[in-house]
Chains A and B, each alone.
Chain A
């Protein structure tokens, strides 16, 4: 995996209603224990990764998620 920050991953806001989506994601975990959370997140990540479909974006997101300080502000 290259960990170059190629700039494929969007850093600015692209959600119309950020508070709603953020809380929807959190709420979806509310009644799950740790193991169920992990299973839920794994399914969610696979669904979204396939939808994104862009390998450069996904690889960059993997790097950024692992170490946000390397995300670099635009």
Chain B
């Protein structure tokens, strides 16, 4: 049925079955989106990783299709983002309809000058395939397919993990266990940890179909379309001429009936007209929940991605939040394992990513309530916003067909140094993600390319004498007129002035950027002592 060829990845008999075993610094459970991304981020920092998955293939079905800029920037560090961009569909525009009339159009990338677009649509099986390929070529990562975690015994300094394979069971001894095993997390169940949240009862039908004719690149969302008059429909393009059509079915639909090919075809026929033709890729009826664990770090066991929190699909926040989680976790875990920071640094992973999950759940719940109003007045206001949107521009901002994923703010983190200068009028403050900008004389050199795996100081200096002393191990990027190189500092060229603009920069403006590309501190005047103290705070070594 699917045009995607599901490859089987090789199972190899683990050495532990033959009596060889050693303590592993990090064992990751789950090779979905979070697991392989974390494995690559740890291996890039020199750590050996064991990656376990109960299956031997990629995600069944296209599932998460909208890969956001921040995720692409992360994957670019491991050399997989370009492949995703080339294979996927770049889109930045969308259209919202009421009935058969467009009521407004949006553009997610109003400003140029980023290495990556706001979104690339690519099926989850391709994302995972490219991540697996990269993991399999990385000597520090041991991918163990058909290795299912069936037991977890947490200790004070390590965790024992019981794993089932086609050849029998064995025990792995891990300093840290990271559960990236999805919404039905086996590790969470085995440890009997609660997963509180809200259950939604509206049902949706995903029909992914392969089209042969020319397809729209933009996202289209209909409220009350003529071909599905009582509910909403989302249309989105993916790689290989695949379209995602997502029909809201309501609470009372019978999922088994709805999934039948003849019933799906009847809906699609009404939508696309008598001459269109398609083949089915993947069909699924889903409901969803919004849930979040109370603590993402439980002793030596850490939860990331859907295992830790889950949202509705509106806004493409599930997969992208999973990537942001492991981005946040990787550098902290690497520092703790190297003895550079004490284990409490990991508490900040929980604080920061719970704040992000709360924001994602809030946004996703608001979208859900707009798309599926729960009580009559809610529907009345929804319909009022829709009725006004075409002629009253303010009302377009109220129409909520999914607030698409942008990096969440992680405000109030203990790692951040609060601002003391009062005159900021823009740019990312502490707890916010860095923004990309061109930094070279040519067209394809970007700030994201210049951020390494450690901390970076970005300093807008007029004279070399203005530069603060660089703390050990921190990379220095200076934005200065050409021809003023300084030892230890790399000079960036802000040809179009976008860097200054996006960082609200004046001579002296200095940013401390974390390894996960979030801002830890910023100042109007560079000061070596303040920088060193902010760095101690950001690494929990102060």
Q: What distance in Å separates the Cβ of B125 from its nearest Cβ neighbour in chain A?
A: 42
Cα A50 to Cα B397 with chains together (Å): 11
**Complex CA distance for A71 and B481, rounded to whole angstroms:** 60
Which of these, B376, B377, B398, contacts A46 with CB under 8 Å? Answer: B398
Beta-carbon contacts of B219-245 to A below 8 Å, as 1s and 0s? Answer: 000000000000000000000000000
Q: Is the CB of B392 within 8 A of A39?
A: no
Q: Is the CB of B394 within 8 A of A42?
A: no
Is B384 within 8 A of A43, CB to CB? yes
Q: Is the CB of A47 within 8 A of B376?
A: no
Q: Which residues 18-67 of A sit at the B interface, judged by CB distance below 8 A? A: 38-39, 41-43, 45-47, 50
Whether a CB of chain A sits under 8 angstroms from the CB of B474 is no
Residues of A within 8 A of B381 (CB): 42, 45-46
Min CB gap A1→B, angstroms = 14
Partner of B376 from the list A38, A41, A50 (CB cut-off 8 Å) is A38
Q: Which residue of A lies closest to B393 (CB)?
A: A50
**Which chain B residues border A41 with CB–CB below 8 Å?**
380
A38-B376, A38-B377, A43-B388 known; A50 vs B383 contact (CB < 8 Å): no
Query: Quick check: B392 and A38 within 8 Å, CB to CB?
Result: no
Instruction: From the candidates B380, B394, B398, name the one contacting A39 in the complex (CB within 8 A).
Output: B380
Structural contact, B385 and A46, CB atoms closer than 8 A: yes
- B392 & A47 in contact (Cβ 8 Å cutoff): yes
Query: Are B394 and A50 touching (Cβ within 8 A)?
Result: yes
Nearest-CB distance from A28 to chain B (Å)?
15
**SS class of chain A's interface: helix, strand, loop or mixed?**
helix
Could you tell me the distance in whole angstroms from the C-beta of B376 to the nearest C-beta in chain A? 7
Residues of chain B contacted by A45 (CB below 8 angstroms): 381, 384
B383: chain A residues within 8 A (beta carbon) = 39, 42
A-to-B contact residues, CB < 8 Å = 38-39, 41-43, 45-47, 50
A45 to B383, CA, bound (A): 13
- Additional A-B contact list (4), CB under 8 Å, known A38-B377, A38-B380, A42-B381: A39-B387, A42-B383, A45-B384, A50-B392
Question: Is B17 part of the contact surface with A, judged by Cβ < 8 Å?
Answer: no
B385 to chain A, nearest CB (A): 6
Asked if B215 CB lies within 8 Å of chain A CBs, one says: no
Residues of A within 8 A of B362 (CB): none
- Which of chain B's residues have a CB closer than 8 A to the CB of A50? 392, 394-395
Flag if A47 contacts B388 (CB, 8 Å): yes
Cβ distance A44 to chain B, nearest Cβ, rounded Å: 8
A38 — which chain B residues lie within 8 A by C-beta? 376-377, 380
Listed from nearest, the 3 A-B pairs whose CB atoms lie closest are A42-B384, A43-B384, A42-B380
Q: How many angstroms between the C-alpha atoms of A38 and B394 in the bound complex?
A: 21
Q: Which of A39, A42, A45, A50 has the most CB of B within 10 A?
A: A42
Separation in Å of the B65 CB from the closest CB of chain A?
A: 32
- What is the 8 Å Cβ interface bit string for chain B, positions 375-411, against chain A (1 contact, 0 not)? 0110011011101100010110010000000000000
State the CA gap A43–B377 with chains docked (Å).
Answer: 12
A residues near B392, Cβ cutoff 8 Å:
47, 50
User: How many angstroms between the C-alpha atoms of A50 and B391 in the bound complex?
Assistant: 14
In the complex, which residues of chain A have a beta carbon less than 8 angstroms from the beta carbon of B398?
Answer: 46
* 16 pairs, A vs B, C-beta closer than 8 Å: A38-B376, A38-B380, A39-B380, A39-B383, A39-B387, A41-B380, A42-B380, A42-B383, A42-B384, A43-B388, A46-B384, A46-B385, A46-B388, A47-B388, A47-B392, A50-B392
Q: Give every chain B residue within 8 A of A43 (Cβ-Cβ).
A: 384, 387-388
Nearest Cβ on chain A to B468's Cβ, whole angstroms: 40
Q: Which residues of A are found within 8 Å of B377, using beta-carbon distances?
A: 38, 42
- Shortest A32–chain B CB gap in Å is 13
Complex Cα distance A21/B394, Å? 24
Chain A residues with CB under 8 A of B376: 38
Point out the residues of chain A lying under 8 angstroms from B384, CB to CB: 39, 42-43, 45-46
CB B129 to nearest CB in A, in angstroms, measures: 46
Find the B residue at minimum CB distance from A41: B380
Report the nearest A residue to B382, measured CB to CB.
A42
Chain A, residue nearest B395 (CB): A46
A43 to B395, CA, bound (A): 10
User: How many angstroms from the CA of A42 to the CA of B385 in the assembled complex?
Assistant: 8
Bound CA span A42–B381, Å: 5
Shortest distance from the beta carbon of B98 to any chain A beta carbon, whole Å:
14
The residue in A39, A45, A46, A47 that gathers the most chain B C-beta atoms within 10 A of its C-beta is: A46
Q: How far is the CB of B386 from chain A (nearest CB, A)?
A: 10
CA distance A39 to B380 in the complex (A): 5
Cα(A42)–Cα(B395), bound, Å: 12
A50 to B377, CA, bound (A): 19
Q: Which residues of A sit under 8 angstroms from B385, Cβ to Cβ? A: 46
Q: Encode B399-440 as 1/0 by CB contact (under 8 A) with A.
A: 000000000000000000000000000000000000000000
**Distance in angstroms between the alpha carbons of A41 and B380 in the assembled complex:** 9
Q: Chain B, 489-523, contact with A by CB distance < 8 Å: what is the 0/1 string?
A: 00000000000000000000000000000000000
What's the least CB distance linking B362 to chain A, in Å? 14
A41 to B384, CA, bound (A): 9
Shortest beta-carbon distance, A59 to chain B, in Å?
16
Q: A-facing mask of B124-167, CB < 8 A → 1, else 0?
A: 00000000000000000000000000000000000000000000
Residues of chain B in range 318-338 having any CB-CB distance to chain A below 8 Å:
none
A50 to B389, CA, bound (A): 13
A43 to B380, CA, bound (A): 9
Most A C-beta atoms less than 10 A away, residue of B381, B385, B398: B381
